[in-house]
């Protein structure tokens, strides 16, 4: 059954208004490449990625560019500049990137750099490692020409000071609005190559040193060029526990559709938490190598943004376990 809540009209890019994920988004095979899909209403990210893909560029460049736009946006309080700090008032960032060949790079607990997704890409391309964290990642960034800057905006500082009055940590993604909008972005280029990236400032007011799912290959992001890709948003501890994105890609390899695979991953979270998962947002987005999309969430807060060659940009409400 269609409802108005199944999609949100997109005006920023002059998009066509098309109905429902049932007929348009989820489960449909997009034969015409390229495709880009990202978590939350992330039109800026998709537009940046599309700028690369529409010129025949690589999906790896597209997902990096998509992530960078959100990292530089001070109004997104879950990613990069303007991200809400931890409980000590420090903005600490996590990001990763992966291509269709199993190449991947990741940084976690990085402070003072606007573009962790690009540092992650450099880890992938210039080091023998997959993941650098904290001071080591920051030194690597400085050595490679990244500029150190203050990422705590006056607005984020104000929100943190307000939070300090009660100092109550609620990892409830649906209620704590500022925790939304971590970007996970998946792209399929016109050569049929898949890539993904994920970047975040993590859960607002987390403990200093906490790292979520977003920089962890297999939890917040996984790509296998022979199968598909998946990414996640929500309370990262839950995705880590089930290796969520890797689980989804493996289920797809075994023949599940991207939608079925996302639903199974969410059900594993539900199995642990039962009714409590209503207040525990965990959402997955998947794209198969053929261009089929899946999206599913524990609760009714998740939407994703889809861009395809017919110049459609849609923000689409994902189905959820709890209505
Ligand atoms: C984390 N998964 O650090 C991230 C938070 C998130 O939108 O997705 N925010 O746990």
Predicted confidence (pLDDT) per residue in 138-177, tens digit:
999 999 999 999 999 999 999 999 999 988 887 655 444 5
| Per-residue pLDDT, 170 | 72
The CATH number of whichever domain residue 143 belongs to comes to 3.60.20.30
322 within some domain: no
What is the mean pLDDT of the segment spanning 66-70? 97
B/e letters for 9-27, b = 16+ CB within 10 Å, e = fewer, are: ebeebebeebebbeebbbe
* Ligand 1 centroid, distance to 214 Cα (angstroms): 7
Is the pLDDT confidence value at 17 over 80? no
What is the mean pLDDT of the segment spanning 69-84? 94
* Ligand 1 centroid, distance to 219 Cα (angstroms): 11
| Per-residue pLDDT, 290 | 93
Is 312 a catalytic site residue?
Answer: no
SS3 of 230, please? strand
Domain of residue 172, residue span: 3-80+90-317
85 within some domain: no
Percentage above 70 pLDDT, the chain: 87
Both structure tokens of 152: 């705590």
121 within some domain: yes
Predicted confidence (pLDDT) per residue in 221-253, tens digit:
999 999 999 999 999 999 999 999 999 999 999
323 within some domain: no
Structural domains counted in the chain:
1
| Per-residue pLDDT, 42 | 85
191 within some domain: yes
* Ligand 1 centroid, distance to 186 Cα (angstroms): 16
Ligand 1 pocket, Cβ-based, cut-off 6 angstroms: 78, 179-182, 200, 202-203, 212-214, 233-236
Which is catalytic among the residues 39, 47, 153, 182? 182
In this structure, how many other beta carbons lie within 10 angstroms of the beta carbon of residue 283?
30
Predicted confidence (pLDDT) per residue in 22-63, tens digit:
434 566 666 678 999 999 998 999 999 999 999 999 999 999
Both structure tokens of 119: 């540092």
CB contact at 8 A, 316 and 7: yes
242 within some domain: yes
Tell me what percent of the chain is helix, strand and coil, each rounded to the nearest 5.
30, 25, 45
Beta bridge partners of 312: 308
């Amino acid at each position: 059954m269609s409802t108005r809540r199944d999609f949100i009209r997109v005006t920023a890019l002059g998009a066509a208004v098309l109905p429902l994920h049932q007929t348009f988004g989820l489960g449909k095979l997009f034969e015409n490449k390229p495709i880009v899909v990202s978590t939350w209403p992330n039109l800026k990210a998709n537009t940046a990625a599309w700028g690369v893909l529409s010129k025949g560029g690589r999906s790896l460049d597209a997902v990096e560019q998509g992530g960078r736009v959100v990292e530089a946006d001070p109004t997104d309080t879950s990613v990069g500049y303007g991200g809400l700090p931890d409980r000590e008032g420090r903005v600490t960032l996590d990001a990763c990137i992966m291509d269709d060949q199993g190449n991947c790079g990741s940084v976690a607990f990085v402070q003072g750099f606007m573009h962790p997704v690009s540092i992650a890409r450099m880890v992938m391309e210039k080091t023998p490692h997959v993941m650098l964290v904290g001071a080591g990642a920051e030194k690597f960034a400085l050595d490679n020409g990244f500029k150190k800057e203050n990422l705590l905006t006056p607005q984020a500082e104000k929100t943190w000071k307000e939070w300090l009055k009660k100092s109550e940590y609620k990892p409830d993604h649906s209620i704590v609005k500022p925790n939304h909008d971590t970007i996970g972005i998946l792209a399929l280029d016109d050569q049929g190559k898949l890539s993904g990236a994920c970047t975040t400032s993590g859960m607002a007011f987390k403990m200093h040193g906490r790292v979520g799912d977003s920089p962890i290959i297999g939890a917040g992001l996984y790509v296998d060029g022979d199968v598909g890709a998946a990414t996640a948003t929500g309370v990262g501890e839950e995705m880590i526990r089930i290796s969520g994105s890797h689980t989804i890609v493996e289920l797809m390899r075994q023949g599940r559709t991207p939608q079925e695979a996302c639903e199974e991953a969410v059900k594993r979270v539900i199995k642990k938490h039962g009714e409590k998962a209503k207040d525990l947002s965990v959402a997955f987005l998947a794209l198969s190598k053929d261009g089929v999309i899946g999206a599913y969430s524990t609760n009714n807060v998740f939407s994703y943004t889809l861009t395809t060659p017919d110049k459609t940009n849609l923000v689409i409400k994902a189905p959820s376990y709890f209505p």
